[in-house]
Amino acid sequence: MTAHLLTLNAGSSSLKFALFEAEGPEPLLLAKGQVEALGALPHLVLRAGAGDGLEDRLVPKDEANAHVSALQHILDALKTHFPAMSVEAAGHRVVHGGPGYAEPLILRPEIIAELEEFIPLAPLHQPHNLAGIGAARQAFPGAMQVACFDTAFHRSHSWVNDAFALPRAYYDRGIRRYGFHGLSYEYVAGRLAEIAPDVAAARVVIAHLGAGASMCAIKDGRSVASTMGFSPLDGLPMGTRCGQLDPGVVLYLLDREGMTSQEIGDMLYKKSGLKGLSGLSGDMRELESAGTPEASQALSYYVSRIQREVGSLAAALNGLDALVFCGGIGENSAFIRRKVCEDLHWIGIGVEEGRNERGETLISTAGSLAKVFVVKTDEEAMIAKHTQKLYRRAQKNL
């Protein structure tokens, strides 16, 4: 019987998944999709590996109000289209691996308990990642469960790009810059090595722009610095998250506005960013078409922060050879790519407008000193690759 891998990427109101065959030299994608709007109007989408639609339907609210029940609908749909499915391993995206976990690993109960301790470091993500793990353990009690950490890719940072200027004892307690979106960066760096190996081995800044957004400086395929630090709040403004913020603002909100830490956290994670600035939405598509002064200001702020971080990360690299856009906004918004690049001539960037509008892989002009790429990221493929590697290693040791 053919062994299969299932990848799960659990969010606050969604559960993304992908099914792979595990026995080839690389995991072979059979199907992928998601259940979104858990607890509200759950919606299941399932596509074959080639992209053909298999299912696209609403799910009764009381039948998909949590990750466990959503996973059951996913499994029912997969079994309908792949009746011989035999899940031998499940790979999970886990946003926070703390200071110790620098590579994917097989989950054991004591590791899961330790990952629960990192919930305060990523409250918007970690609880749901762990819920996905719990659902998979319940559905596949005999399968290997693998955690793939978003923070692991950044454990190669130097101390100066890892520490805050706080009393040193806090660093030892884990208060440091972790960086996130590591699975996306790892995948895109690997794709860049295939597309342009000469550039991939040089000085690269990757901009992962989506509902969550960050940027990463990469040299020789390794993370050097990232815009996200201690938590997924830092760096760029995002759909609903604030990005970089003077810590004095938090102190002011506590002392002068009388807000509780919970109220501040709710505001910074869910009511700020593009949504807070525009007073309209955190969805880039809505903001680009809105035409209001507030939406225009939000977009200008977003672009300005990206441009500033390009300069900062280029300084960390001692120069720049390539800029790469990925993520839902980076891959699909020609407007944002154009606005970001049009004021980066000082660093040698020029973009050919026709290529940019068409979303081609290489969008820079022939004379651009730093090349500009658009690369579609695939966190599920990266999770599957890591899971397959650990699964095969375990099979050899049987």
Residue carrying structure tokens 């990005």 = 243
- Known catalytic residue at 343: no
Report yes or no: 382 and 388 within 8 Å, Cβ to Cβ: no
* CA–CA separation, 268 and 285 (whole Å): 22
Angle at 75 between CA 73 and CA 76, to 5 degrees: 65
Two tokens at 335?
A: 């407007």
Residue 267: other Cβ atoms inside 10 A: 15
Give residue 60's identity as a one-letter amino acid code. Answer: P
User: Hey, CA dihedral for 236, 237, 240, 242, is it positive or negative?
Assistant: positive
Report yes or no: 22 and 33 within 8 Å, Cβ to Cβ: no
Q: Catalytic one among 52, 56, 62, 150?
A: 150
Report yes or no: 148 and 382 within 8 Å, Cβ to Cβ: yes
* CA–CA separation, 249 and 255 (whole Å): 10
Two tokens at 164?
A: 């805050």
Distance, CA of 43 to chain centre: 21
3-class SS at 87? strand
* CA–CA separation, 26 and 78 (whole Å): 21
Report yes or no: 68 and 42 within 8 Å, Cβ to Cβ: no
Give residue 136's identity as a one-letter amino acid code. Answer: A
3-class SS at 182? helix
Contacts of 205 (CB under 8 A, 6+ apart): 215, 216, 217, 218, 310, 313, 314, 317, 320, 322, 323, 324
Q: What's the DSSP call for residue 154?
A: G
What radius of gyration, in Å, describes the C-alpha atoms of the chain? 21
**For residue 127, which of 241, 255, 135 has the smallest C-alpha distance?**
135
* CA–CA separation, 124 and 269 (whole Å): 8
- Which residues have a catalytic role annotated? 150
